[in-house]
């Protein structure tokens, strides 16, 4: 098993995340139609704070708030509706838990700006700046951290865009080129996400996790979002509600190949996975020291 390696730290506003050990990003969906029903939270602030508080107690470092579903085939909603779903949630979480890092899951610059003003210090963009290039200028202007995911097309049509010469090499080229563009305009606090389930076949999804270690050569933290996705449901032949164990298995593989951030629905299970992985990595270190001649 590979030991976890990381670029070290990630600055989110005034806070610094230590990535020498992997961390968890908890998913909070203020949507009525996200693919995993238990992750949906109504607009009631009390319910949102209760869910956020539980995830924080369970050990997450980042809360990722999303107001528009990006499941395959999802139709876009207006920016106004998206903002109405997330803004009060972010304000309430920031007021109640000022030390938690809040990420806004959006590709729209106008939504991201209002959320940054409300306390978000990370933007999680499924389009990598390709659906609204203005979001890149906003990130450069505000200095927040930026998660750049790979996706072709939009959630509505992305699963028709899975023709790659070599999915791993194609994504490495994509990220290498995009990193140069983003750094040129002043974006430094970057995370890459290969986009498991986004414009990828199930086979390509598994290829990416298997070869995730290659992305470390880009010298940026890698986020992986495999939690309860349909690829896992299809693999084990059971519904999404029964995919926690499969998710945990794939998390362990991703960690072994260098993932720094796990984006998850089940924070406690992910934290347990990281704890076991860290202990295995420590054992690996001891074994290597034992084998080195004195």
Dump pLDDT digits (tens) for 182-241. Answer: 999 999 999 999 999 999 999 999 999 999 999 989 999 999 999 999 999 999 999 999
CATH code at 207?
Answer: 3.20.20.20
What's the number of domains the chain is made of?
1
Kindly report whether the global pTM for this prediction surpasses the value 0.75: yes
The pLDDT of 20-36, averaged and rounded, is: 82
Helix, strand, coil share (%) of the chain residues, nearest 5: 45, 15, 35
Residue 4 lies in a domain: no
Residue 243 lies in a domain: yes
What pLDDT is stored for residue 6 in this prediction? Answer: 56
What pLDDT is stored for residue 294 in this prediction? Answer: 60
pLDDT, tens only, 65-89: 999 987 676 678 899 999 999 999 9
Among 64, 91, 95, 67, CA closest to 80: 67
The pLDDT of 129-139, averaged and rounded, is: 96
Residue 51 lies in a domain: yes
Determine what percent of the chain is predicted with pLDDT higher than 70. 91
Residue 127 lies in a domain: yes
Give the DSSP letter of residue 135: H
Query: Buried b / exposed e across 254-293, counting CB within 10 Å, b at 16+?
Result: bbbbbbbbbbbbbbebbbebbeebeebbeeeeeeeeeeee
Question: Distance (Å, rounded) from C-alpha 60 to C-alpha 100?
Answer: 9
CB 195 within 8 A of CB 123: no
| Structural domain range at position 254 | 9-291
Residue 91 lies in a domain: yes
Cα dist. 217→51, 57, 221 in Å?
36, 34, 10
Which residues are catalytically annotated?
229, 263
Q: How many CB atoms lie within 10 A of CB 186?
A: 12
pLDDT, tens only, 226-239: 999 999 999 999 99
Residue 2 lies in a domain: no
Strands (E), 30-97: 62-66
Q: What is the mean pLDDT of the chain?
A: 92
- 14 pLDDT above the threshold of 90: yes
- 126 pLDDT above the threshold of 80: yes
Determine what percent of the chain is predicted with pLDDT higher than 90. 80
| SS3 state of residue 216 | helix
Residue 125 lies in a domain: yes
Residue 253 lies in a domain: yes
């Amino acid at each position: 098993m590979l030991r976890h390696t990381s670029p070290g730290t990630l600055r989110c506003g005034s806070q610094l995340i230590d990535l020498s050990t992997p961390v968890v990003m908890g998913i909070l969906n203020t949507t009525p139609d996200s693919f995993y029903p238990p992750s949906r939270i109504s607009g009631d602030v009390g319910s949102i704070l209760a869910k956020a508080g539980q995830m924080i107690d369970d050990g997450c470092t980042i809360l990722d708030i999303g107001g528009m579903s990006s499941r395959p085939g999802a139709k876009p909603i207006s920016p106004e509706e998206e903002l109405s779903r997330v803004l009060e949630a972010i304000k309430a979480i920031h007021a109640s838990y000022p030390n938690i890092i809040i990420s806004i899951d959006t590709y729209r610059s106008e939504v991201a700006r209002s959320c940054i003003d409300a306390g978000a210090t990370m933007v999680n963009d499924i389009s990598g700046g390709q659906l609204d290039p203005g979001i890149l200028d906003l990130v450069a202007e505000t200095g927040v951290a930026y998660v750049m995911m790979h996706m072709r097309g939009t959630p509505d049509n992305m699963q028709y865009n899975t023709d790659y010469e070599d999915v791993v090499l194609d994504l490495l080229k994509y990220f290498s080129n995009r990193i140069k563009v983003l750094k040129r305009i002043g974006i430094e606090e970057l995370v890459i996400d290969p986009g498991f389930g986004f414009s990828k076949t199930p086979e390509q999804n598994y290829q990416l996790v298997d070869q995730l270690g290659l992305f470390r050569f880009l010298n940026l933290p890698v986020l992986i979002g495999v939690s309860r996705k349909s690829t896992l449901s299809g693999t084990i032949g059971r519904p999404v509600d029964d995919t926690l164990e499969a998710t945990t298995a794939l998390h362990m593989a991703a960690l072994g190949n260098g993932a720094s951030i796990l984006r998850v629905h089940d924070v406690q299970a992910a934290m347990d996975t990281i704890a076991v992985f860290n202990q295995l990595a420590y054992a690996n270190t001891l074994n290597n020291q034992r084998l080195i001649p004195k």
